[in-house]
Chains A and B, each alone.
Chain A
Amino acid sequence: MSKTIKLEHITKIEGHANLTLSIDGNEVKRCELGAIEGSRYFEGLLKGRKCYEAPELTSRICGICSCIHTMCSIQAVENALGIKVSEQTKMLRELIVLGERIRSHATHLYFLALPDYVGAESALALGPKFKNDVLRALRLTKLGNDIISTIGGRDMHPVSAQVGGMLKIPEQEQIDNFRRRLQDAQADAAATARLFTKLKCPKFENETEYFSLQDGSTYPTLYGSLVSQSSKFKKDDYLKYLEEYHEPYSTANFVVKKDKRYMVGALARLNNNYKFLSKNAKKLLTDAKVKLPIMNPFMNNFAQAVELVHSIDRCMEICRKLKVQEETPAEMKFRKSRGIAVTEAPRGILIHDYEINEKGDITKANIITPTCQSLLNMQEDIRAFLPSVIKLGDKKIVFEIEKLIRAYDPCFSCSVHFLKVNWV
């Protein structure tokens, strides 16, 4: 007996996505996961615009990871124009990106993932038993937001970070204040990690390639080359290895490495870079007694919790080092060139690639977002995971699969700005 399950407008993820499954007995015949968000053609919109306007435009690709899009775009333009920025600018940028990671992970863990595990419909409907958890989540998001808005000028689509440097530099007092607040937040992060270590993940392993950045000295945020278990290549060569293709049921592209699926995101970062975690985060890993590399995609939630702890420690480290000075952004000299930047968004590797002409106009743009890269892996994981839940009945199947999709923390509005759809 065959049956078809259709999941439309999956909730508690960023953006719109559909899933079509058709099952025959114990066999999965069709499994198609696709984004159904309308297309916005950001790469087309960038053509003909001044290169220094790109950060402002591309940050609108996604609300939840707007900062990393801004930074990636800035770095791509800087790479093209050969601009080198000061250490202070680098640190401030990293703070913004880490602030976003704290905010994004906290939002995902508590608002999108947790309700599934404790049997609630939403985080706002969690009972009094979980009131402390929700309050903790809100404190963490507030911390992330405050870091971004103090340094970036705005909590979403930050304005102060521009090509060449920062338009506005925060006061030393503000930085010191954050140090104190971050110290307080360490307890919250640790509690989060404990909570997500306790949660029971379904036993499921599906090995794949885990891609992330690696710069050899720190846990990756903005710099480094692309690394997986079996390969390593420089960011400028990404087109040699990665390939985009499309399927008729999705408005987002699928990205593969030599026809093979791979995974990006917190889990991939953790698997490749656990050496560079902060002390607290490392301790957490040993306490949790997990085997590395982790092959269970459900453990992406745990990886995010570990990253949350690390990000707060790292922010404190930067705040301790940072002694702010007044400085103005470097000047731009336009030239015909190409700039590629690869960064780590909360959900994984983000690539911005621009070609610029002598006048400073963008002539070609290519953007690859994390969800596009994980999309195929997500689909294949669902296919592999289905047989283990197939006897549970439709409702339960849907529930478990949604849990799996949410574990990836996909961001479908990001993934869909490229392509799509037939104008009949």
Chain B
Amino acid sequence: MARPNKSNKPAVAFYDLTGCNGCLLSFLFNEEELLDLAAHIDIKAFRFVKEIKDDKQLDIAFVEGLVASNDDLDILKSVRSRAKVLVAFGSCACTGCIPAYRNFIDPSKYSGLVYEKLKELRDMPATPIKDYVTVDHYIPGCPPDKKQVLNFIKDVLLGKTPVDYDKPVCFECRLNQNRCLLDDGKMCLGPITRGGCDSICTNGGLECWGCRGPTPDANIPLIIKLLEEKGFTKEHIKQRLRTFAGLMIEKPPKQKMVKPVKIRPKKDKAKKKPAKKMKKHDKKMKKHDKKMKKHDKKMKKHDKKMKKHAKKLKRPKKARKGKKASKVKKTKRKAKSHPSRKKALKKRVKKKPARRNAKKNAVKKKTKKTPANKKTCVKNKVKNKAPKKVAPKKPKKPASFFSRMKLKKK
């Protein structure tokens, strides 16, 4: 496919949703390389340093921050529809970071802070962007290492596929010859946290808080148990785990909507109240309808399956005469399905729960991936694999990095 712009430079854009702008700054802080880099890419949007020229097509779009208002969602959807590769840039975009910790606390704690504001600014539950759109790459970190984004762009320019780092922080921490902070009695989440940060916090003496989210094979129950043995309360440990990547580890509890504090008392309260109720009722009904539709779909699928199954049941009766033939068929089927079946199976096990959760979440938040959106997401030119999703916890898997470490010690 031909590049959208005349020059051969890739069109790169940086967008910021709700967040602290820290991740974009960390890109700017590549003081020595910045000017060279700017000569090699065509920066289309970077609200922090220049006017936005919303181009129709973007090669790479970096999105910082998370979705916390309707406005954010609109920007995100428009970016996704235009970008070939969408990169979740920073922890807020990848895991929800600290703002998403709000999903785990009692709304009464901040109810005094919720005021009635413009309707179009409607507040939304704080969620990472992958709940709304497909994300092609993740650059986690709060903030990401400034060299990371540089390397990402370099890789793209050289035609390489950027690879996500998934070894735990302990790996780099050991290489940096730091004292183990767990041994010092600190609540370090290094063993379960994705590295790639050069263990910068533990180098500075602070325990790892888990800002990059859990590794694919993180054994969370084990780390909770271990930290409990160190004398921390379960509540405190959970708070820590939820601070940066809570949504990756567990499902947030259902929360009641907080009633906003009214700024100006309105006279015609009596008229407005029923309208609100009706809205609520309507919403409930809509939800119900959606559920019913889903249920219908499921039932249809189920029926189809049942029909197929019935056919299958019929088949072997015919094929009984030649048993060998049927065996050959089966092996053939295996070979067709995947060359490396084991790997594929493993991936499936990892991915399925994440997708399910994401779908459920999406339904809860009353937003869907619009079909139009999906269509417009042109597959990336960089030939990267299907978007990786950080697998949720898998308590059954026994051998985590940490347990291995423990074994070594023994």
Contact = CB atoms under 8 A, between A and B. Distances in A.
Contact of A421 (B24, B50, B115, B143): B115
Contacts of B97: 60
**Max chain B CB contacts within 10 Å: which of A37, A61, A249?**
A37
B61 interface: no
Interface string B3-25: 00000000000001111111111
Contacts of A422: 114-119, 121-123, 260
Contacts of B263: 246-248
Interface in A1-45: 9, 11-12, 14-16, 36-45
A335 to B, nearest CB: 19
A420 B51 contact: no
A38 B71 contact: yes
Contact of A14 (B17, B21, B200): B21
B121 A421 contact: yes
Interface stretch (A139-147, A195-203, A256-264, A307-315): A139-147
B210 to A, nearest CB: 11
B31 A138 contact: yes
B239 interface: yes
A129 to B, nearest CB: 15
A155 interface: yes
B204 A153 contact: yes
A154 B26 CA distance: 11
A152 B35 CA distance: 27
Given A40-B126, A423-B114, A63 B23 contact: yes
A168 B202 CA distance: 10
Contacts of B26: 63, 155-156
B48 A14 contact: yes
Given A60-B98, A167-B204, A424-B279, A145 B49 contact: no
A224 B264 CA distance: 37
A420 B203 contact: no
Interface stretch (B102-110, B129-137, B289-297, B382-390): B102-110
Contact of B204 (A37, A42, A154, A421): A154
Nearest 5 interchain pairs by C-beta: A153-B204, A63-B22, A44-B110, A38-B68, A167-B205
Interface of A: 9, 11-12, 14-16, 36-45, 47-50, 56-57, 60-64, 66, 107, 111-112, 115, 121-125, 134-135, 138-139, 141-142, 145, 152-160, 162, 167-168, 246-251, 413, 418-424
Interface of B: 16-26, 28-29, 31-32, 34-35, 38, 43, 46-52, 66-69, 71-72, 97-99, 101-102, 105, 109-110, 113-119, 121-124, 126, 142-143, 146, 200-201, 203-206, 209, 236, 239, 243, 257-258, 260, 263-264, 279
Given A142-B32, A248-B264, A423-B123, 10 more contacts: A16-B16, A38-B69, A42-B98, A44-B102, A45-B105, A48-B105, A122-B49, A153-B204, A154-B201, A159-B206
19 contacts: A16-B16, A16-B71, A38-B69, A38-B72, A39-B114, A41-B102, A56-B206, A63-B24, A123-B50, A124-B43, A124-B49, A141-B31, A167-B206, A413-B18, A419-B113, A420-B123, A422-B122, A423-B260, A424-B119
